[in-house]
Amino acid sequence: MKCHRLLPFALVILAGATPGLGAQQRRVITFEDFASARMVSDPQLSPDGKLLLYAVRTADLAANKRTTRTWAAPIAGGETMPFPDDKTVASEARWSPDGTSIAYISGGQLWIISENATRKQLTNLTGGASGPVWSPKGDRIAFVSAVYPDCRDEACNAAREKAKSESKVKAHASDELLFRHWNAYDEGTRSHLFVVTPDGGDVRDLVAGAKYDVPPGPFGGSEGYAWDPSGKNLAFTAKDQGAKNAWSTDLNVYTVGVAGGNAHAETIGNKGADQNPVVSPDGKTIYYASQQRAGFEADRWRLMAWDTEKGAPRELLPAWDRNADGYVAAPDGKTLLVMAGDQGRDRWFRVTLDAKGNASAPQAVITEHNNTQLSIANNGTVAWIRESASAPAEVWLGTLDASGVSNQRAFTHENDKLLAQFTLPPLEDYWFTGANNVKIHGWVMKPPQFEAGKKFPVLLLIHGGPQGAWLDSWSTRWNYQLFASGGYGLVIVNPTGSTGYGQKLTDGVSKDWGGKVYTDLMNGLNAALKANPWMDSTRMAAAGGSYGGYMVNWIAGHTNRFKALVSHAGPFNLENMYAATEELWFPEWEYGGPFWTSDAMATQYRKFSPHLYAKNFKTPTLVINGELDYRVPYTEGLSMFTTLQRQGVESRIVVFPDEGHWILKPQNSQLWYKEFHGWLGKHLERGPKM
């Protein structure tokens, strides 16, 4: 297929590596600079490995919005083209198996463009369309759309949606929990799995009437479903626990025929979560990720192999103490590439399968910085996203061969010219001894204004989760470079509870929220101060979001060593937090049960709740929350601020009425950083000292 036949419109010359600025003085990055970065994602190689589709998200500060567009480029070099043209906003572009057509989403509906550049809109559904996945023969496309489960046809969905939008009453009513999730109320719709033919005919809901979502919300995408090689069946992820949805983590992998009908739960025997099926090229095996412990959302994601003929699932890598966060089957059927968090970086590992399906030990093959979103072509070309703490994401290429992934190189250069203007310090790894003599990993980042012989204020960053990790990545929310730009040295610790260092460390935070993590953070800060004499221990602040916000609230009641604190979306009163959050499995696992359970009350709620130590609050604290945050309701922030104010502790609260747990809108993000730096600048005497 010729690229110019499929993409005949406006051309943009592919930027090569931008020359450095040479002697020109580099400067400190600003928020406006940060907002102008082009965020690259979703690389999709054509089946023959000759063309690449990828997405670029840009921010418009003035319009207060972000827009994602798709681009196409020949792998051998040449012209990059906007897909399908320079006026259409397209996303989730996916090649047909023969490479002659591309399905994509535009205007919230599913479209297709053919080899002769003919376009056709395939859906016009009230609930929209997203997540296109081609069948192996190219005769159907799977996607998801929101429906009212009790509606039998599209006319019913449209009428129901029209009545809702025209009603003057906007009340929410529910008879079950999980009536709101993440940042939205349950309005009665469910995401269902559909198929459609490439000519737009036979649009079919495969799970009609189902009261569950495919895939489960709030973040599930097309990784949640997959075709078998015959094109007659699909495997998908769903959660059908009814009234138990709010406290159960029991997701299952289902299979359903292309004609629809009753879906069969294939993993019903496991009461933990099972998700994201990938079917082997020969159709004999379904790979999926599975958590063994029911109710624990941070259990190790085991890579499972289910033999579709024998019906016996087994763990493929039982000795591997890492999460199978992503996995892609190579076209030869003999190789899997598995993504796992590993010591602060997302890396890809190669797993070789023998004739019996037994797996070799994972071999790290893509390791530098942070690597996600991998695509493999039939010729062994591999494309993925790589980013780091000092560079936004770009597409990288390599070749899957006997040595692993060879000839690794950057392919896109969307941000080279922008980044060449700034001083962007790298992360510097360090290890120290934490609680119980466990070795803990962290990073230090120098301020861009660094000068030897001078001392700079220090900012300790605390990640959320608590089962999560700071990564060597370019975050669009908590960005290391923007924090350091205020003239601060950063201390970035992955304490007990962090992922990517083995499940034992991850498990260590549960039922111990204010214990080992606090020790790790203080030990890590002390170790960084000792190893970096340029850090000024008399001018320090700490900041965190979600669990990190909890830990900031905990710090406020347990030490006065910091000059300023920033608590974003942090739990304050654990008893109240339990009854107000939406995913009850989380506090029930983390705190050992509901607050009316006597043992949990004595050992957790009445031991580790920050509000119990409010009499010790003395450190100036900035509190930030979003009103649409249903994970940590913003009333936790109101309570923290009220307590600080009532005791006369200098404090400030910023509440975003149109944001949830994350602050995402460009102008809101701009204000967030302005408030953050204003608070630290006021209390840390910004700038170096001799």
Distance CA 70, CA 57 (A): 9
β-strand partners of 380: none
Token representation of residue 602? 């004595």
* Mean pLDDT for the chain overall: 95
Contact 188, 202 (CB under 8 A): no
How far, in whole angstroms, is CA 292 from its chain's centroid? Answer: 22
Task: Read off the pLDDT of each residue in 199-207 and give the average, rounded to a whole number.
Answer: 95
Which residues sit opposite 652 in a β-bridge? 622
- Check pLDDT > 90 for residue 13: no
Residue for token pair 């905990």 = 554
Q: Which residues pair with 491 in a beta bridge?
A: 444, 460
Q: What is the mean pLDDT of residues 63-73?
A: 97
How confident is the model at residue 403, as a pLDDT? 87
Structure-token pair, residue 251:
């997701």
Q: CA 428 → CA 26, 267, 342, 448, distances in Å?
A: 21, 43, 16, 14
8 A C-beta contact, residue 423 and residue 453: no
Residue closest to 613 by CA, chosen among 640, 592, 586: 640
Peptide bond into 331 cis (omega under 30): no
**Residue 367: is it exposed, middle or buried by C-beta count within 10 angstroms (0-12/13-18/19+)?**
middle
How many Å apart are CA 499 and CA 14, to the nearest integer? Answer: 37
Kindly list the structural domains of the chain, giving each domain's residue range(s) and its CATH number in brackets, ordered by start: 1-120 (no CATH), 122-164+176-315 (2.140.10.30), 425-573+609-684 (3.40.50.1820)
CA separation, residue 76 to residues 5, 51, 79, 90, 615 (Å) = 17, 8, 10, 24, 66
User: pLDDT tens-digit profile of 249-265?
Assistant: 999 999 999 999 899 99
Q: Which SS3 state, helix, strand or coil, does residue 73 take?
A: strand
User: How distant, in Å, are the alpha carbons of 47, 330, 404 from that of 333?
Assistant: 15, 6, 15
Taking 60 as the threshold, does the pLDDT of residue 642 lie above it?
Answer: yes
Q: What is the pLDDT of residues 243-300, one digit of tens each?
A: 999 999 999 999 999 999 899 999 999 999 999 999 999 999 999 999 999 999 999 9
Q: What is the pLDDT of residue 20?
A: 43
pTM of the predicted structure, to 2 decimals: 0.95
- Output the 3-class SS for 327-369: EEECCCCCEEEEEEECCCCEEEEEEEECCCCCECCCEEEECCC
**Beta strands 489-494; 190-196: pairing state:** unpaired
Q: Is 24 exposed, middle or buried (0-12, 13-18, 19+ CB in 10 A)?
A: exposed
* 24: confidence class by pLDDT, cuts 50, 70, 90: low
Q: Look at residue 1 in the predicted model and tell me its pLDDT.
A: 34
Element (H, E) at 45: strand 39-45
